[in-house]
Structure 1
Amino acid sequence: MLERPADAMRQYIDAVSTFEAYEEALAEAAKVRGGMYWHKGPASAPGEAYLVRTSASGSEKSLGPRSPETEAIYASFRERKELAEQRLAGLKAALVKHKRMNRALRVGRVAPLIVEILNRLAATSLGEHFRVVGTHALYAYESAAGVTFDDDAVATRDIDLLWDVRKRVAFATALSQVDSSMLGVLRKVDPTFRIRNSQRYTAVNQDGFEVDIIRREQIADDPHPIRLSDDDEDFWVAQAPRAQVLLDSPQFSAVIVATNGDMARMNTLEPRTFIRFKQWMSTRPERDPLKRRRDALQAMAVEEVLQEYLPHLAKD
């Protein structure tokens, strides 16, 4: 691996600071989505007005008749909404500048498609139901450590998303609010994604890039088999050996940067779990020998990064 150049590191630190401020601004803006207005009273009381709160989905809720209390609620809401919109607009403009600087200083090397997918999942509140596992997790570790792994360690044409079957009801609710299927969500990023007929847990685009969605092996009352929506063309999630260990692992999160300068947050496994899992994968006799060697290489690479650059994460 190589350490990042000093100018690239400074730019990454500044860009991440702005990105995290943008995430906070998004969360604040979400609290004031929709609006408020004064609704005229019924015919029996035409002079009376009621404060109504509208949601982003169009639903409405009365907050009571006009009074000093509801006047204060209305004024506070309008002020918060205006400030949130101003802050969000300013940070969006700052991110555009950081994107140019990221690209100029070659800060990122993740495929833009990966960043677009992660940002789409975050924007639709679906990201909390998935963790990135497998090779792409290395991009989170190298970003946090300020290093660049050798290309042999990160070379892959697919991304593995671990889905938490335990939260399937909440996932179904979130999905229904944004699309009819998980495949539909991916197609908002790249309309050429299709489910592979021979491997229904995999979607592939016109360039041959694949998205695999996996789950833990069936236990307790887990449904099996399970499709992510009622859409006939959606993912059938594959069971993965020892995926329960990955679900139980503490989460590790880092901001990654694409080659075009765009940024996204990647939620993955804490490094020690990744190392142990890859070491185990490298010993499975039924696994392809080439993949076993890569598993061992990745485990060693992350172990070195953990000990040298992220020692605080190496402690139990």
Structure 2
Amino acid sequence: MIRTSPGNAQKSLGPRSGKTEQIYQNFTARKTEAEQRLSDLTSALERQQRMNRALFVGRAPRILIDILNKLAKEGLLEYFTVIGTHSLYAYEAAAGVGFGDAAALATQDIDLLLDTRKRLSFIAQMNSVGSSMLKLLQKVDSTFKIRDDQKYTAVNSKGFEVDIIRREPKDGDPHPLRLTEEDDELYAVPARNAGLLLDGPRFSAMIVSTTGHMARMNTISPVAFVRFKRWMAEQPDRDTMKRQRDVLQANMVEELIAEYLPHLQQ
């Protein structure tokens, strides 16, 4: 009898015998049970998605859901933190309400903050996946490609962008930082004060798309979001329109915390 691993490695368990027959029977029983559980969970997920869609539960873009689910499937979600406007979907989902100003959520890019403190384990996981970050995004949408003028940005045919952000180099961080050694690969760009976000408290919530599909988003604490947005609005080189948007988002989240998530103020 031969045991085959998920990676297609094979190991002999010896010739046919009472012992190997029992091993095979146990394996078959566990496999049948696992397949039935997967089928039941898949059916339950599909029912929930239909309910979400019928009740208009979700507002997040489907592309955002698909990217987060792809990272989770490949064991990479723990290395990235969503920052910026898309974090608002997690906050409103946790509070069970929707932000009234839809324009405040309108954006065509997602910022993924890479935890450079886990760089070695990230590289090991990417090696086990056997792919580059760009190729993973292309499995979500085949039109993703790296922008010629921004090597830290992947953009698809509809103009949706994925930016890979990192803290400013410290403690031996490599610079520049290429995510993998694959030929066509993204870099991570240093961002001012990103280290504060990396070291701050985390926040996690299930978000729902307009199609009813769901994904877990790991982002920064709403309190940290407010502080960071107010800091950004004070920067003299910040674009005026972006500064106004920073203040608007900070005010919205601050009100949300006070009314629906007061425990986060502790």
Shorter-chain TM-score above 0.5: yes
Of the three residues 243, 246, 251, the one matched with 1:292 is 243
Shift of 1:228: 0.9
Task: Report if aligned partners of 1:179, 1:185 keep a CA contact under 8 Å in 2.
Answer: no
Count of equivalent residues: 265
TM superposition shift of 1:79: 3.5
Aligned to 1:125: 75
Q: Which of 89, 101, 107 is the matching residue for 2:39? A: 89
| Pair 70,279 (structure 1): closer, same or farther in 2 beyond 3 Å | farther
Instruction: Name the SS of the counterpart of 1:100 in structure 2.
Output: helix
d(CA) in 1 for partners of 2:261 and 2:93? Answer: 11
Cα drift, residue 63 of structure 1: 6.8
The 5-angstrom pairing of residues 105-184 of structure 1 reads: 105-149=55-99, 150-184=101-135
Q: Offset at 1:314?
A: 1.9
- The residue type equivalent to 2:50 in the other structure is R
**Whole-Å Cα distance in 2 between the matches of residues 287 and 177 of structure 1?**
40
Q: Paired residue for 1:230, among 162, 181, 184?
A: 181
Measure the CA separation in 1 of the matches of 2:174 and 2:12. Answer: 40
Which residue number in structure 2 is paired with residue 273 of structure 1? Answer: 224
Amino acid across the alignment from 2:107? T
Q: Please give the per-residue CA displacement for 1:108-153, whole angstroms capped at 9, x wherever unaligned.
A: 1111111011111111111111111000000000001011112122
TM-score, with length taken from structure 1: 0.78
User: TM-score, with normalisation over the residues of structure 2?
Assistant: 0.92
How many Å separate the matches in 2 of 1:245 and 1:68?
A: 60
SS in 1 for 2:178: coil
- Aligned counterparts of 1:184 and 1:166: Cα–Cα separation in 2: 23
Secondary structure at the residue paired with 2:205?
strand
1:244 aligns with 2:184: no
Task: Compute the displacement of 1:66 (Å).
Answer: 8.4
Structure 2 gaps of 5+ residues are: none
Percent identity at matched positions? 57
Q: Which amino acid aligns with 1:289?
A: T
Q: Deviations over 1:240-290 (max 9, x none)?
A: 111111111222111111111111111111111111111111111111111
1:104 partnered with 2:16 = no
Q: Which amino acid aligns with 1:296?
A: V
CA distance in 2, matches of 1:71, 1:84: 20
User: Aligned partners of 1:69 and 1:242: how far apart in 2?
Assistant: 60
Secondary structure of 1:177 counterpart: helix
Q: What CA distance in whole angstroms lies between the structure 2 residues aligned with 1:204 and 1:218?
A: 25
